[in-house]
A and B are shown apart, each in its own frame.
Chain A
């Protein structure tokens, strides 16, 4: 047993890497649900963005063009969700499920038609990927890092060497908080998820607020998806989101729809995912070898446990999940 191994720098580094897409997706869900639109389609939007970002990056050689393409694809699905749940007052759960299946199918069909590699994109390299940004003086070779002292390890492995999206994420949480609680847009957004009637009678368009929210949701999901295929990994493979959209939703409930808490919740799940891919470290920490399948199931089991118990009383936005109909 070596409990300190739980705080292994490599695992913490992995926490950040794996937590970032969860955080982006979680904040995406936060905007949508705060405006009263439930969105279980985060998964599908991330997936389609991951695919298109990788495909366009490979084809054009520019990861930035890929990112834009990914975000646009995600926003298109967001607008579809908006059309179903805002304009046509459809069932938001069903719409989300449809979007997830659509993304799951179309990415493979399109990847096959485009690259003919069995539903994946070719590996990305160079400018077609988000490169790690190395801080000055940071060690890059694993061998050197292993030999370095703790502050240097933290600096080189945990702080340095992430992609631009990860560093942007450091700013995003305070920015979301500020937008939500300090701006006119945030006030109206929160109001429309609590009582759209109040917003409507105040002369603000409920539709416009809700569409804005789902578009922001699409942009953030797009960012998350593009990061998966062009930052975290080097290319798209089928179903590469692996339930992250749903885990992000669980984190959102855990965080009770608040941005700072969302950071905490997603990093917790990121940590579990990071631990799950390092059975060696887990074995060192608890002294027993754990079946890989148990580790595979771990993030999902913990999501259920979080939803079942530790949430406490999570009160979702009052008008959540329901289309706005003017009263007579």
Chain B
């Protein structure tokens, strides 16, 4: 028996969860002495007010698409990858090494070389927790968190030593001019749309959209995706059907880590054009909220990523204008995870009851 129509499950429940998260966020803003309506206005204006701001919003959204997809792919195999943050850090290292030590003659080649290096490094950082989960049953949530904590000292060491540029800042030298990815304004300009070049959105956005298509096809159209979903739904049934747990866990986590690592195409290669210490800025964690809110589906993730892009960019304006710290975004992110993930039933059950009640009436 189906309790409620599909549209309610896909649209109504997440939207209601979001509304709840928004209400609590408004209460928090109220509690620290600001008007939530004003705050919302500042955020929306800051995120969408002009094309430079939109560029920032899209830049952040690009980050979140990568990390959101990373969480989603692992989630389909019932692996909770909280290590996106660390994997993105190490992916950045891979991209930086590829761009610093290989003289790519053109940005397209750098994109391929750097992107592959980022993916490989990110995947490698996910590989150990994945292996420990598959072979030794070590809890992947704790191990991926530990790997987040390890990624930072590793970069801290490298950026203060072996790959440090001159000067005080812990960062690598800038990549060569030829490797810089085109800005979104250049891309849109090529098709006759004028767009500000003062924002950081860049070619990585195209790659992120391609990644959405890739993940969609992978999960829903291929045999590997079929096996991954079967394993994620029921490990015992997967074993019966001859689906190998170790293989699924490893592949899903490697793809997940690779996607998180590929975020470096955007933030390291596309924006900073060098590797700085705190390059990821929590995007790995926001990926969790994005994936949950997007129901682990690329379309949902795309929408959720843009929403969080607005939040993140708007949050920057908020901190500039009202001196509300950027961490307000973390609070909202937590509330989104809470309502769309953990408290899903709280929203779902009353709606299901309503549909059952109305369904009965309709049948009578």
Chain A residues packing against B (C-beta within 8 Å): 40, 80, 83-85, 87-95, 97-102, 104-110, 112-113, 119, 238, 242-243, 246, 249-250, 253, 291, 293-294, 296-297, 300-301, 303-304, 307-309
Q: A90-B344, A308-B138 are in contact. Are A109 and B338 (CB under 8 A)?
A: no
Map CB proximity to A onto B134-178 as digits: 1 under 8 Å, 0 otherwise.
001011011101110110111011000000000000000000000
User: Within 8 Å of chain A (Cβ to Cβ): is B323?
Assistant: yes
Name which of B1-9, B57-65, B240-248, B328-336 contacts chain A.
B328-336
Q: Can you give 19 A-B contacts (C-beta < 8 A)?
A: A88-B344, A92-B342, A95-B338, A98-B335, A100-B334, A101-B285, A101-B289, A104-B334, A105-B328, A109-B32, A109-B325, A110-B32, A113-B32, A249-B139, A293-B157, A294-B153, A294-B157, A303-B146, A304-B128
User: Within 8 Å of chain A (Cβ to Cβ): is B233?
Assistant: no
Write the nearest CB–CB distance from B141 to chain A, whole angstroms. Answer: 6
Cα A283 to Cα B69 in complex, Å, equals 44
Within 8 A of A (CB), among B296-344: 323-325, 327-335, 337-338, 341-344
Q: Is the interface of A mostly helix, strand, loop or mixed?
A: helix
Write the nearest CB–CB distance from B232 to chain A, whole angstroms. Answer: 13
A40 touches B331 (CB 8 A): no
B337 touches A90 (CB 8 A): no
Cα A112 to Cα B138 in complex, Å, equals 38
Q: A97-B288, A300-B146 are in contact. Are A308 and B329 (CB under 8 A)?
A: no
Known: A90-B342, A308-B138; 12 extra A-B contacts, CB below 8 A, are A40-B142, A84-B338, A90-B345, A97-B337, A98-B337, A98-B342, A104-B334, A105-B330, A112-B323, A250-B142, A293-B156, A307-B136
Closest to A101 in B: B334
Q: Which of B146, B323, B346 has the most CB of A within 10 A?
A: B146
B331 touches A102 (CB 8 A): yes
Closest 6 CB pairs of A and B: A105-B330, A95-B342, A102-B334, A101-B334, A105-B331, A113-B32
Write the nearest CB–CB distance from B20 to chain A, whole angstroms. Answer: 13
A88 touches B334 (CB 8 A): no
B342 touches A94 (CB 8 A): yes
B341 touches A98 (CB 8 A): yes
User: Within 8 Å of chain A (Cβ to Cβ): is B33?
Assistant: yes
Q: A90-B344, A297-B150 are in contact. Are A308 and B338 (CB under 8 A)?
A: no
B329 touches A105 (CB 8 A): yes
A307 touches B157 (CB 8 A): no
User: Within 8 Å of chain A (Cβ to Cβ): is B82?
Assistant: yes
